[in-house]
Each structure stands twice: as structure tokens, then as C-alpha cells.
Amino acid sequence: MSIIKYLKRIWYIDYLIRRKATGNITSLAKKLSLSKRATFLYLSEMKELGFPIQYGSDCDCYYYNENGKIVNSLFVKDGNQQNDHKLGKILSKDEYNKTLGGKSPSYFHNIIEPPITLHVYFS
């Protein structure tokens, strides 16, 4: 699956959760055109990324138990210091090479740690 399709699904799930429009797992799976198992995997991965997802039997839906938002961009321009604290640590080329055992292509200058991570902040 392409990363763009994966991210769009996460953003759509986030949208449904914020509106408390997920319904139960069967309903959510149908809205996503996925199996229940695949839907559980998405929710599990989102939880690993820091989304505080809970299921409420009273509303029969998934919801966030903390306030926060998903970050809209995976790329931050160099020198944009006001966003550095929001997006997590920016790795230098040398730090990134150490992380991947020196296998990084030379055209990577700065990236967000880890390379493909949604940074989610809840207060």
C-alpha cells in the first residue's frame, strides 16, 4: 500500500473519531471499506503513534480521551524554529546515518525522527 493511501486513511479515521462518527468496529470497517481485522490494525497502529483512542459503549463509538490534533505536515523547512518543538527532534544527516547504519542516501539533509512518523500531540 502506498504511504499516501495509508496516511489518508489515518486522517479519515481521525476525522471520524473527532466527530464521534465511527460507530462500532463493524460500522467503522464498513466506512473504511476494510475488514474488521484491518480496521483493528489501523486503530492499534494509531495508538502506537500516540493517539489516545478509547471506545465508549455509551456512545457506541471511538473517541479521544485527551485534547490534541494531528500534525498536518511531515516536512518542516530548515530554520523554522517555532515548529521544531512541535514536531519532535530533527536529526542531522550524521545522526540519521547512524540510525540507519550508514545506508542513508546523500541527499537527505534533515528529517523528522523516525523517517515516517505522524507526530501527534495531546494535552
113 contacts 88 by C-beta, under 8 angstroms: yes
pTM above 0.75, yes or no: no
- Cα separation, 37 vs 119, in Å, equals 24
Q: Are residues 57 and 36 in the same domain?
A: yes
β-pair type (68-70, 120-122): antiparallel
Domain that holds residue 85: 69-122
Q: Are residues 50 and 75 in the same domain?
A: no
Q: Are residues 61 and 74 in the same domain?
A: no
Q: Are residues 46 and 78 in the same domain?
A: no
Q: Are residues 7 and 49 in the same domain?
A: yes
- Cα separation, 74 vs 89, in Å, equals 13
Q: What is the 3-state secondary structure (H, E, C) of 48-112?
A: HCCCCEEEECCCCEEEECCCEEECCCCCCCCCCHHHHHHHCCEECHHHHHHHCCCCCCCCCCCEE
- Tens digits of pLDDT across the chain (123 residues): 688 899 999 999 999 999 999 999 999 999 999 999 999 999 999 999 899 999 999 999 999 999 888 877 667 677 655 544 444 455 555 655 555 555 444 444 444 344 444 556 565
Q: What is the greatest pairwise CA distance in the chain?
A: 53
- Cα separation, 23 vs 30, in Å, equals 10
Q: Are residues 87 and 104 in the same domain?
A: yes
